[in-house]
Amino acid sequence: MNLITLEEKDFFEPGRARLRGRRQQHILQVHRASPGDQLRVGLLNGKIGTGRVIFLDSDTVELQIELQDPPPPALPLTLILALPRPKMLKRVIQHVTALGVKRLYLINAYRVEKSYWQTPWLEDDKLREQCLLGLEQSVDTQMPQIELRKRFKPFVEDELPAISADSLKLVAHPVTESPCPVDIAGRTTLAVGPEGGFIPYEVEKLQEIGFDAVHLGPRILRVETALPVLLGRLFPGR
Amino acid sequence: MNLITLEEKDFFEPGRARLRGRRQQHILQVHRASPGDQLRVGLLNGKIGTGRVIFLDSDTVELQIELQDPPPPALPLTLILALPRPKMLKRVIQHVTALGVKRLYLINAYRVEKSYWQTPWLEDDKLREQCLLGLEQSVDTQMPQIELRKRFKPFVEDELPAISADSLKLVAHPVTESPCPVDIAGRTTLAVGPEGGFIPYEVEKLQEIGFDAVHLGPRILRVETALPVLLGRLFPGR
């Protein structure tokens, strides 16, 4: 937790926040803070600054809050990701949030097992929890928007053209000739398949609406490895 | 398992291998192979090719082996990594192996907890197991060399100058002015600290022997996220 995230409801008067539970425990046990200590805090979807400890006991911490800095810039990216298996999903949400992704569509694909859609980790509060962990890690405050789309074809035909309009459209695909470009300046929509990849029909559907298939080299990577590699390569300056 | 790895001892006559256990089970249950089917195989530290199923029962598979292709090129990188906590260590070994790292030093640092050095995951056969999983994922055969160094200062002073000779020397450090370079052609030695980073003394010791501190942008990433980002950025063509 490199950042303590605050919400409006944590403020009991202007400039003063009171925390209990997970964040209070972290301040007490990991920071081992004392009154007067300064912690890095950020208002969810708002600015970053400092929280000075005013009061701290085993149950409650009160902070004097000053917020002055903007959060780091968002990646100019919309990520279209075939739903990973539940165990990986948690980590992937944390990773991509930490990397600055703000728009994520979790979609179905032929090689996504149906059971994956049943996982409790797709519930709103669970997704939010993983996003928060990613924001706290990367010192960011802007919550990603995550959308679930359980049908591939209607999503790609009816929604994706508008979602990806005026952006560079890429689909990561191991068996193609073009390497993934490096250092993209503009808006990008990146589609990444499940373990085993998109099937040819799915790649073709994406190509029909303007997506270019690109590869990452001769190695086949797991989705959770491939995503940071792709983002580090597309946006090395971010 | 995108590749079935073979060892010399699997061959019962030239060009014929017999497998039992984990690989046999994978061929039976995941590939659901039948006699005549072709599987992608590779000889550990050797070439890649195909294995045609000659015989298969619930216990044993026999393959006719043809090896013709070289493994993908190794990254021209020596990675110096502060020992991660055990749970992350497993994943990190798999990630970096899959990404093509062939020389890895796991070292001590001030923020590495002493207990981490006690984990059974550092035993030779456990490390080898994680490396194998990384190779099988990424369709590679070249085993990484992993060395453990439990004392930071003697390693950096006495060994690292020779290890890193004639290479670009970088230490990933969030609080520095220079961004990490993109698309390095030549040999590189990259040092990556523990969660919380190297302490200033450690960064200075590395700088004294020619390492440049570089950052990855305003975001603080976990080691397992930062590593693929760094490698995707340094070696985008690989």
Higher pLDDT, B195 or A163: A163
The alpha-carbon gap from A157 to the nearest alpha carbon of chain B, in Å, equals 31
Binned at pLDDT 50, 70 and 90, residue B237 comes out as low
Mean pLDDT calculated for residue range B110-129:
96
Mean pLDDT calculated for residue range A119-148:
96
| A30: contact with B, CB 8 A cutoff | no
Mean pLDDT calculated for residue range B83-104:
95
Q: Do B231 and A230 touch (CB under 8 A)?
A: no
Q: Which of B219, B221, B224, B238 to mutate to test the interface with A (most CBs of A within 10 A)?
A: B219
If asked whether residues B51 and B100 sit together in one domain, one would say no
Neighbours of B235 (CB within 10 A): 22
Give the one of A219, A226, A231 whose C-beta lies nearest to B139's C-beta. Answer: A219
Contacts of A155 (CB under 8 A, 6+ apart): A105, A107, A108, A149
Predicted pLDDT of residue B216:
86
Above 70 in pLDDT, residue A51?
A: yes
Domain residue limits at A176: 77-234
If asked whether residues A192 and A124 sit together in one domain, one would say yes
Above 80 in pLDDT, residue B15?
A: yes
Last residue of a domain, one of A52, A69, A86: A69
If asked whether residues B18 and B127 sit together in one domain, one would say no
Above 70 in pLDDT, residue B197?
A: yes
Predicted pLDDT of residue B177:
84
Last residue of a domain, one of B69, B91, B109: B69
Spatial CA neighbour of A95 closest among B136, B221, B1, B59: B221
If asked whether residues A126 and A169 sit together in one domain, one would say yes
Predicted pLDDT of residue B179:
86
Last residue of a domain, one of A27, A52, A69: A69
- Total tally of structural domains belonging to chain A: 2
If asked whether residues A87 and A203 sit together in one domain, one would say yes
If asked whether residues A169 and A58 sit together in one domain, one would say no
Give the one of B100, B228, B233 whose C-beta lies nearest to A236's C-beta. Answer: B233
| CATH classification at residue A29 | 2.40.240.20
ipTM of the complex: 0.87
What are the pLDDT digits (tens) for A93-102? Answer: 999 999 999 9
Min mean pLDDT across A42-51, A153-162, B172-181, B205-214 is at B172-181
What are the pLDDT digits (tens) for A116-133? Answer: 999 999 999 999 999 999
Predicted pLDDT of residue B238:
61
Q: Do B219 and A98 touch (CB under 8 A)?
A: yes
Q: Which residue of B has its CA nearest to A93?
A: B225
The alpha-carbon gap from B158 to the nearest alpha carbon of chain A, in Å, equals 33
Predicted pLDDT of residue A238:
61
Mean pLDDT calculated for residue range B148-167:
97
| A180: contact with B, CB 8 A cutoff | yes
Average pLDDT, chain B: 94
Task: Tell me the residue type at A204.
Answer: E
Size of interface A-B (CB pairs under 8 A): 95
Average pLDDT, chain A: 94
Q: Which of A4, A138, A215, A225 to mutate to test the interface with B (most CBs of B within 10 A)?
A: A225
Q: Which of B69, B75, B229, B235 to mutate to test the interface with A (most CBs of A within 10 A)?
A: B229
